[in-house]
Chains A and B, each alone.
Chain A
Amino acid sequence: MTKEITITVDGRKVKAAEGLYLLDVLKRNNIYVPSLCHHDQVHPYGVCRICIVEMELNGRRKVMSSCNLKIADGQVFHTTSEKLTKERKILMELMLARSSGAKEVIELAQRLGVEETRFPKEDDGCIMCGLCVKACEQVVGVSAIGFESRGPNRKVSAPFDVEAERCIGCGSCVFICPTNFIKMEDKNHVRKIPLWHVELKMKQCKSCGPDIAPEKQLEYIRNKVKLPENFFDTCLNCRP
């Protein structure tokens, strides 16, 4: 059993297990803190900075991101204050300037009271949350994609922006992307993910015909769990 500790959030006592991240505890207790780059399945990255809270430290208040902050007994947090609102609004304006077309960003901006941005608008769609890169590394374990360049030129891409060699076409990046920036298409027995320049041949069921999954993915799974060679020759329905 982990030790149970008590923290104070907005004057309310909250009990939680030691070693949890603050944002998870807040979510469980229905205390709303906006977040964009957070996901249960990958390690916290703390890049969107929207989830900032104030922590009381030696009589001062310090602004910190809550997604990668491990809680300890007796800490005192504030999730709403004038300073936080102001900082979140500026962050949201910057994010709106980068991805003015992304539905999720616009929705969150409206919820935080930002209607218009004062910076020049671009429509990128990617908010640089890095979830696709993290999922590829930590959930799938192939690290087929990564970040490219630095500063304002930073973007997610396959290595050298050519075909991602190690991509197995599992679609985790497509599913985890919060703004639907990464697209995937299955057509004519080929799976395409244009952003990573990937085209993978699909394997068909030998007895009934339809596509099962990309050949490369099945090979990867087969090697990983040491299945017999002909295991993926047939689809789920035809397998005994």
Chain B
Amino acid sequence: MDLSVYASRCVETPEKFSQGHRGCVGCGEVLALRQVFKAVGRDTIVINATGCMEIIASTFPTTTWEIPWIHTLFENTAAVASGIETAYKVMKRKGIYPKDLSVKFLALGGDGATADIGLQALSGAMERGHNFLYVCFDNEAYMNTGVQRSGATPYGASTTTSPAGKTIGQVTWKKNMPAIAIAHNIPYVATANPAYPFDLMEKVKKGQAVEGPAYIHIYSPCPTGWRCPPDLSIRYGRYATESCVFPLFEYENGKYTLNKDIEKPIPVSTYLKGQGRFRHLAEQDVAYIQNHVNNDWAALKKRCQE
């Protein structure tokens, strides 16, 4: 459902991620984070992994976070989240916290902190069934340290540690993080995209409301790392969904739902074209990627129809 101009003005205005941070121009991740915060209440504790969001928003002595926030290492975000959640439960039982207060826990991590370094802790926390929401901001490489490849870098992308030349760039396919989360049999998994803000906010609300772990994978266009014009980051986000490279779906108690059904997908080349990280791709490479995307999309559609 497209709500465009007017309904977006009815979103609450106070920012929990305030202005003055040092994000790059056109950062899709900051936009996604702000949208996430529009959907959560003030009774939220944020557990933030190292990454762009931590670096740009907490340069001493200033801070951008207007809600309780704790910075953790790459590898233990989910572990710290589960610790805080358990401590809160105990304190509530002992009567230190009022019984009617319901505090939510929001763990944030980049794709490196989620898919590579912090995967073990995340898997553990999901398996133990802690009541928290994990949000992964996927900008498809380690952007903060200067565009190094991660497990979530897509096939063919050129990064500083997988440069195009002798090879095609990144030689492996993107790690399917939502599928890994779904494999843990948790109550709620979803993918979202800041180009579709209402969908994103709705999913964050759902993810916070469920009892038990929830996982949301948010596609975050990064003009700096993708080498595309900063004013087009939202457009690339939209292209990603409309070309079925990054479909929007949710998985709720064992059932898949497709949130954005694309009747006529646009060609993948529209999405790849214009991004500096894909500029070396030849026609047969694009056809190869298109074929892979088509197969993935068909498989997802089949799952959603079941």
Contact = CB atoms under 8 A, between A and B. Distances in A.
Contacts of A208: 264, 266
Contact of A40 (B13, B198, B263, B266): B13
B43 interface: yes
A186 B6 contact: no
Contacts of A213: 2, 4
B42 interface: yes
Contacts of A212: 2
A236 interface: yes
| Interface residues on chain A, size class | 20 to 34
Interface residues of B, number: 24
Interface stretch (A9-17, A48-56, A120-128, A171-179): A171-179
Contact of B6 (A28, A139, A184): A139
Contact of A139 (B9, B42, B235): B9
A137 B119 CA distance: 49
B10 interface: yes
A171 to B, nearest CB: 4
Interface in A88-118: 111
A206 interface: no
Contacts of B9: 41, 139, 172
A174 B239 CA distance: 27
Nearest to A168: B6
Contacts of B43: 30
Given A171-B6, A237-B242, 17 more contacts: A30-B42, A30-B43, A39-B10, A40-B12, A40-B14, A41-B9, A41-B12, A139-B10, A172-B10, A174-B7, A176-B10, A208-B264, A210-B264, A217-B4, A217-B5, A221-B5, A236-B238
Interface of A: 27-28, 30, 32, 39-41, 111, 135, 139-140, 170-172, 174-176, 184, 186, 208-213, 217, 221, 236-237
9 contacts: A39-B10, A41-B12, A170-B7, A171-B6, A172-B3, A175-B7, A175-B10, A175-B198, A217-B4
